Amino acid sequence: MGPDPKEKMMSGLLKLPKYVEMRGGLGPVTGLKSGDVAPLVVLTNFRAHVHRAQPMLANISHISDAGWDISAITGEHQGTSVTVCSAGFGSGQTSNVMEELINLGGRIFIQIGATGAIQENIAMGDTVIPTGSVRDEGVTRYYAPKQYPAISDYRVVGALVNAAQAAGKTTHTGIIRTTDGFYPSQRIDKYVERYHDLGVLSVEQEVAAILTIAGCRGCYAGASLAVIGNLVTGEHSFNGDAEELVENDYFDQIEFVLDALVSLKHLA
């Protein structure tokens, strides 16, 4: 007589462990292993962010271009160990990277990103530091019910505001919106108008996932977003307005974000 079908169903179909490792203990997405990741982590969209961070770090203990288009470097900033890791674009890929970084010891996460403003008073080149994000993307529904808020840790927000202002940046704090589609969900009039009227500052593609995962897994997170476009005024670096913002302000957040991150080391 074979096994009871009811008993088999109750035992569960999934046999893989919750998190998998490749040979040598490598994470399949990041290509990182135990000892490669510091508790303090900067997340970026581009490999170029990671490469630009290298001169700012001393005593580098790990550097790699591994995994699925992922680059990472671990070294010391102001005597504190930090990791800078590219996570690609969008909430899905960012969630994969962040999960592995947490498994390998990451505790405090700050995202360096770009954003499109949807308020007239936010100028090109300003810095948006989210206090929270509208979860208008697909991945966080697997982590938490829709009522669960995606919020930045208040200490991370405070540290980022202080560091950004010390670096001469004009800052805006408040709620942003995270979406999956660069074109459809950010450029359709009714969405822009709805969130503009609700006072939402800007739109981008990763922050809600970072904040939700941090909350669910007992970590701390926040973000610094360079304004490279404004959907309401029509200005955008990709259209030729202030093109230098993508090459300069977007990338140059690294230094003050590292300063903010190190000031939070007591939380780790």
pLDDT of 139-185, one tens digit each? Answer: 999 999 999 999 999 999 999 999 999 999 999 999 999 999 888 77
Checking if the pLDDT of 187 tops 80, the result is: no
Do residues 201 and 222 touch, judged by C-beta distance below 8 A? no
Average pLDDT over residues 46-72: 87
pLDDT at 23: 84
Q: Which two tokens stand for residue 250?
A: 């977007």
Domains and CATH numbers, the chain: 17-267 (3.40.50.1580)
Do residues 156 and 115 touch, judged by C-beta distance below 8 A? no
Mean pLDDT of the chain: 91
Among 13-22, 154-163, 255-264, the range scoring the smallest mean pLDDT is 13-22
Average pLDDT over residues 86-110: 95
Checking if the pLDDT of 7 tops 60, the result is: no
- 11 pLDDT band, cuts 50/70/90, is low
To the nearest 10°, the Cα dihedral for 139, 230, 151, 110? 80
Q: What span, in angstroms and rounded, lies between the C-alpha atoms of 36 and 236? A: 37
Place of tokens 């770090």: 57
CA neighbor of 59 nearest in space, from 31, 37, 81, 38: 81
Average pLDDT over residues 231-258: 87
pLDDT at 67: 56
How much of the chain exceeds pLDDT 70, in percent? 94
Do residues 238 and 182 touch, judged by C-beta distance below 8 A? no
Place of tokens 């590292």: 258
Q: Could you tell me how far CA 112 lies from the centroid of its own chain?
A: 7
pLDDT at 69: 67
How much of the chain exceeds pLDDT 90, in percent? 72
Q: What are the residues whose beta carbons fall under 8 Å from the beta carbon of 75, sequence distance 6 or more?
A: 54, 57, 58, 59, 60, 61, 81, 82
Neighbours of 160 (CB within 10 A): 29
Q: Which two tokens stand for residue 55?
A: 């001169």
Average pLDDT over residues 115-129: 96
Average pLDDT over residues 63-92: 90
| Whether pTM exceeds 0.85 | yes
Among 24-28, 40-44, 67-71, 75-79, the range scoring the smallest mean pLDDT is 67-71
Checking if the pLDDT of 68 tops 80, the result is: no
| DSSP one-letter code for 144 | S
